[in-house]
Amino acid sequence: MPYIAFDIRRIRMMRQIYGNSQRTLVWLGEATEETILGFDLMPQLLRGAKMQIDAGDTRSATELPLTDFEHYYGEYTIPADAVSFLALSLLPWFRRVWVIQEVSVSRKATLVCGSETVDWNDFVQAVTYCIQFRFAGAFDASLQRIKRMDLSRHEIRNNQEISLEQLLFRYRDFDFTLPSDKIYGLLGLVDDSELVRLNLEVDYSIPALILYRRLAIEFLRIYRNLDILGACQFSGNDDRLVLRGYILARIKKVGRPSPLPHAEDVTSSILFRARSTAMKVGAVQGRVQQS
């Protein structure tokens, strides 16, 4: 499998390449009538929203009388036309886990769709206004996904440390080609010191379930809390305990009430001893159990 050779050094190198480039061009695909209209509407949305903010007008787009809406957003623009812009957020690029690094670490990013272009910051500002003035409607989830992508960009610009656990929760609804990409696709955003603590290397020969389990155990060992278990849900058709977006392990429910399940085939695992807020973490072979 060619992915096996894609090691951690190459992932970090990608961050350096994007970070050192003068500008990153993001290809969204060929233009359609709808995407062209969406790009054409963007300057109007930006100007109109700024006018509305400057006027202290907090009404949503649907609350504005037509005359007021035309005053802010243009005579030939009606609220329904914003759908063409909002639909841009549904393009496949905005759901791929690997592109988060691409836009987050770049000095300047430009979105390209056919012959249409827009600066990333302007695009995000238009998205922000659509959310603020409630243009979004059914598109709210896809717009919020773009806002989350931009959050990592701001964190990196401000030299903030980003934990892998935080990123996994934030981007758990993004698409991936291989299950392991859910983790490997985010490593370029993680602080080097955390990668060392997690002892994490890129190895596509490791089955995804084993990778997820090892990483969950490392989170428990390093951070000494149960935050990672907060994403657990039972799959419903069997006894596996599944983490939203990634899987902790094949874990059986215990027969008695307990927050900690038994785990199968775990070569290195954790013992939790809870006394008030104190918790002790140690090594236990073969299972996770409550003392």
Residue-range domain boundaries for the chain: 2-157, 212-291
Cα Rg for the chain, rounded, in angstroms? 23
Q: Is the pLDDT of residue 257 over 70?
A: no
> What phi, psi does 96 have (nearest 5°)?
-90, 130
Q: How confident is the model at residue 284 (pLDDT cuts 50, 70, 90)?
A: very low
Q: How confident is the model at residue 230 (pLDDT cuts 50, 70, 90)?
A: low
The arithmetic mean of pLDDT across residues 229-233, rounded, is 61
Nearest C-alpha neighbor of 89 from the set 22, 159, 137 = 137
Q: Is the pLDDT of residue 119 over 90?
A: yes
Q: How confident is the model at residue 146 (pLDDT cuts 50, 70, 90)?
A: very high
Nearest C-alpha neighbor of 79 from the set 52, 61, 53 = 61
CA distances from 65 to 2, 54, 69, 72, 160 (A): 58, 18, 6, 11, 43
The arithmetic mean of pLDDT across residues 13-25, rounded, is 79
What is the overall mean pLDDT for the chain? 75
The arithmetic mean of pLDDT across residues 225-233, rounded, is 68
State pLDDT tens for residues 236-255: 544 444 444 443 333 333 33
Residue 77: the pLDDT is 63
Residue 13: the pLDDT is 73
Lowest mean pLDDT among 50-59, 222-231, 238-247: 238-247
Helix or strand or coil: residue 145?
helix
More confident residue, 80 or 139: 139
User: Could you give the count of Cα atoms lying within 13 Å of 284 in the half-sphere of its Cβ?
Assistant: 19
Q: How confident is the model at residue 111 (pLDDT cuts 50, 70, 90)?
A: very high
> What phi, psi does 97 have (nearest 5°)?
-65, -35
More confident residue, 236 or 118: 118
Q: Is the pLDDT of residue 156 over 80?
A: yes
Tell me how crowded residue 75 is: count the other CB atoms within 10 A of its CB. 8
Taking the complete model, does pTM exceed 0.85, yes or no?
Answer: no
